[in-house]
Structure 1
Amino acid sequence: MADIKEIAGHLAGLVDQLPLIYVTFDAREANFRFDFGDIGCALHKHPRSAQTIRPPWLHYELTTARGGSRHADPVPIWLKNPSGQDPERNRAALRRALELFRDTPTAVMVQVNVEDM
């Protein structure tokens, strides 16, 4: 059975395919859906991600389902201080967050400060 950590690692490899809405302060809600074997997966960008909040955040959630039932607990992903001018920097931070989650056995959520990248 696939593990949520494996799925996060797979998604890290797909980050370059995400539409621009995922790595900017675009206020629209977005869902990127993909399959990992027989597991349906989605990266949900919350519409309340905002540049006006201090500090600013981009907030995501990785969800998985198999056969209509939840496969694993949702994984909150937070990008603190994302760039308003450099979406590729935010994209790199999202990839890093997914890799950190994948590589940290006890993690149940992940946060990356984009300014530290």
Structure 2
Amino acid sequence: MHYLYPEEGTVFWMDNMVIPKHAENKDATYAFINVLMKPENQAVLVEDIGYAVPNLGALKHLPDALRNSEVIFPPTEVKQKGQFLSNIGKAVSIYNQYWLELKK
């Protein structure tokens, strides 16, 4: 399989770690996030799930094939053409339907 970015641009997304306002154990949550953000742990996440990570220190812990992957780390020209979606409203059900079909 070969991964291509459309010439017109692509849609980007990101996962976020958040702490709910009324969380019962915020200290433990901060500690967990801090562990996840260490470069060596970020590298494990890249290897396991194939997502880019915010801590670029992880790059030195990755094999060349992952560090240089344009699928995981798109080149600047791809990022400049891309965009993040905001709330897509009721269209989310269409996205979910096609995602589930793709996963089959």
Q: Is the radius of gyration larger for structure 1 or structure 2?
A: 2
TM-score range, shorter chain: under 0.3
* Structure showing greater relative contact order (alpha-carbon pairs closer than 8 Å, 6 or more residues apart): 2
TM-score between both structures, scaled by the size of structure 2:
0.24
